Amino acid sequence: MTQRIELANYKKRSDLRSLLTITAHLGLVFAPVYIAVLTGPSMLWLALWLCFGLLMNGMLNLMHECAHYHVFSERRGSNLLGRWVLGPLLLADFDGYRWRHWEHHTHLGVDGDTKDAYLVDIKGRYLFGLLLRCLTLVEAFRKFGVQTVVYKGRGQEPSKPVILLGRAALVHSLFFASLVLFAGPVAQRPWPKAFMVAALAYSFVYGYGLASITVFAATLRAIAEHQLEEGELSSTGRAALRNFSCGPAARLIFGAYGFAEHASHHCQPGLPYYHLVEVTEELASHDPNFIPKHRYWGELMKLAKQA
């Protein structure tokens, strides 16, 4: 039996601390895009594209925390961040994501589970196939399509397109304007060239990075968290549940905002991410299945090498 956790013992931290943490993380994630507009097109952009695409997975993790109302003390703070910042930047319907995610919690590993990324086969050459589908944007279009298809017959409608487009237009206009300012006055380029450099960085480093590398990283993360190893038994249908031990790089890319403590989160979804390390220790003292003995890269290599 899972150890009972008293949620009342774990208070939410101050909104100021959360705001400072999120602002610093956003600055780190989007730094490659602004470095691109400052330096101009070069081979460096390939490294910046890869770096941004990997780091942007952390913003998906943050949107997950917003969906659980865990980021700020009041729910409206999480809604504001999710609907007006993260959703538009991730080209996602935040309210639709929240609904799909709760269905994932409710039906983990059984019929009705709205998450299928962890079922993707990465054994041998199939891992290369996944990467190719991500680089050619096939996976991105499939995931964006799921945002509307998943609602059919489930008694819920997605956010109105005009509202989603309005939010996206506002956020992306401000984002692109900031890139033009960095490419122009900050980098001391004439306006026509500044606009061209900003458009290229926005399209390649940000747009293509999000649609290719971020999708790839998010899929690998889901596979590491939930895909069953051959012969592995699970109490959650076709899904495994794992906690991870990871260094700073793996936590930044995959495990940010409590995703490294993924089994603990599924056990205690009412707890904010910053309490999950402590709660994991308590859970693991009663159930060894919660011990963070897995590592992201190691688990992915194991799953990829299965016969």
- Condensed to tens digits (0 to 9), the pLDDT of residues 88-112 reads 999 999 998 999 999 999 999 999 8
Amino acid at residue number 47: A
Phi-psi region of 163 (alpha: psi -120 to 50; beta: other; left: phi over 0): alpha
Average pLDDT, rounded, for the chain: 92
- Condensed to tens digits (0 to 9), the pLDDT of residues 116-139 reads 899 999 999 999 999 999 999 999
Name the nearest CA neighbour of 82 among 71, 73, 260, 74: 71
**The residue count for the chain:** 307
CA-to-CA separations, 297 to 51, 88, 255, 304, in angstroms, rounded:
17, 30, 12, 10
- Condensed to tens digits (0 to 9), the pLDDT of residues 42-62 reads 999 999 999 999 999 999 999
Q: Is the dihedral of CA 128, 131, 136, 137 positive or negative?
A: positive
pLDDT at 195: 98
Can you give the residue ranges of every domain in the chain?
A: 7-305
- Condensed to tens digits (0 to 9), the pLDDT of residues 261-291 reads 999 999 999 999 999 999 999 999 989 999 9
Provide the H-helix boundaries in 68-214: 75-81, 87-89, 94-106, 125-135, 138-149, 161-181, 191-201
pLDDT at 1: 44
Token output for 145 = 């399509």
- Condensed to tens digits (0 to 9), the pLDDT of residues 230-242 reads 888 787 889 999 9
Phi-psi region of 188 (alpha: psi -120 to 50; beta: other; left: phi over 0): left
pLDDT at 148: 62
- Condensed to tens digits (0 to 9), the pLDDT of residues 16-36 reads 999 999 999 999 999 999 999
**Confidence band of 217 (pLDDT split at 50, 70, 90):** very high
pTM: 0.93
Bridge partners (DSSP) listed for residue 236 = 239
- Condensed to tens digits (0 to 9), the pLDDT of residues 137-157 reads 999 998 877 766 555 545 555
